[in-house]
Amino acid sequence: MREKRVVLGITGGIAAFKAASVASQLTQRGADVRVIMTESATRFITPLTLQTLTRHPVAVDTFDERDPAVVSHIDLADHADLFVIAPATANIIAKLALGLADDMLSTTLLATRAPIAIAPAMNVHMYENPVVQKNMETLKKRGVHFIDPGVGQLACGYVGQGRMAEPEEIVSWVENFFAARGALVGKKALITAGPTVEPLDPVRFFSNYSSGKMGYALAAAAREAGAEVTLVSGPVSLDAPAGVTRIEVKSAEEMKNTVLVHLPDADVIIKAAAVADYRPKHVFKQKMKKSADELTIVLEKTEDIALEVGRRKRPDQLLVGFAAETEEMERHALSKLERKGMDLIVANDVSKPGAGFGSDTNIVSVYDREGLVISLPRMNKIEVARQIIALIGERLDEH
């Protein structure tokens, strides 16, 4: 955190008082914190408070140009290593989603090239409003990070989701962000994601429920951490993360061949794809017609990509696998890690709410040959990915 440059945006909600603690804790950890407040935020907490805590002037008015050598909002935009908005009202989220710039904060946000993290805070019904949800989804697709609000008693008297994350959670998020950022500088990451599809005839195939979200989050986090990322993806409806080279495949065989081509150049291989274990032994050239009451299809095993990578990888390469389980997660994960020569394995129980295929969140445990390394509670997949990437960076350093 030392000398990291954080711009803290504070908007007009009752949770603005918590921003003082965020600013204080970041400053105490050595960060260079600059604060921008909206006019409405000053109704809840004074600029003097934030100036005292950060030891820097607080920006409120776009036209209050104190230094003739610079344009304030451009200077602050260029200053940031990270931009945090806490609390973030529905209003500032909408402005950012639409590209509006009518005050100091929104103008600076449009000018910055730094990563942006938003900690929403609002009434539960506002938070669940489809327009607000759509705006947040728009920003997520642009790479904006979200520090999800908590569930509990709100200032308005309602109980539900919308309470800004506690200052300690936000500071921890920032610490994890900087820990992961730069962890893979100069490294090459080869990541697989999504399902594979195994054809039966021209219109039917065997596949699984994988959405690719975890693999794509890992690709984004690895790129964010400085890696050169090659993403080998099965069929998904996701956009490739910025700066990531995506190679699209369909079958397990295509994925295996692509992975083996790129394997020699990789420093880390992350096998997050849900590869089909079996495929039809015979693929019909014409569409099968419905006739008999029962149909028997003979399946054969597909190629075990992780096993082959484990056999071929060099000692200086790190192989990370995934295990989606529904029972005895730890035993099955450790067995898979041992059999396939993995260095780390990320396991999750897909039968748990918030940890299954297609979910935006995950609950994972990471194991090595000695046993459990870390266990992560339910959190957004990009946050899970960042913690996994930070761990991978540490292990590569040890290598």
| Residues tagged in the binding site annotation | 277, 287, 322, 336, 340
> Cβ atoms within 10 A of the Cβ of 97, count?
18
- Nearest residue to 313 (alpha-carbon basis) of 281, 343, 350, 273: 343
**DSSP character at residue 148:** P
Question: For residues 219 and 271, is the Cβ–Cβ distance under 8 A?
Answer: no
For residues 304-322, one letter each, b for 16 or more C-beta atoms within 10 angstroms of the residue's C-beta and e for the rest, the string is bbbebbbeebeeebbbbbb
Question: For residues 83 and 114, is the Cβ–Cβ distance under 8 A?
Answer: yes
Beta-bridge mates of residue 365: 347, 375
Percent helix, strand, coil in the chain, to 5, is 35, 25, 40
Say which of 156, 185, 242, 372 is annotated catalytic. 156
Q: How is residue 87 written in tokens?
A: 């609390």
H or E stretch including 204? Answer: strand 204-206
170 is catalytic: no
Question: For residues 376 and 384, is the Cβ–Cβ distance under 8 A?
Answer: yes
First to last CA, the chain: 25
Rounded Cα gap, residues 307 and 323, in angstroms? 13
Binding residues for CTP: 277, 287, 322, 336, 340
Rounded Cα gap, residues 238 and 231, in angstroms? 12
Rounded Cα gap, residues 166 and 174, in angstroms? 13
Helix 130-141 with 90-98: angle, nearest 10 deg: 50
Q: How many CA atoms lie within 13 A of 310 on its CB side?
A: 17
**Cis, peptide link before residue 47, omega less than 30° from 0:** no
**Residues marked as catalytic:** 156
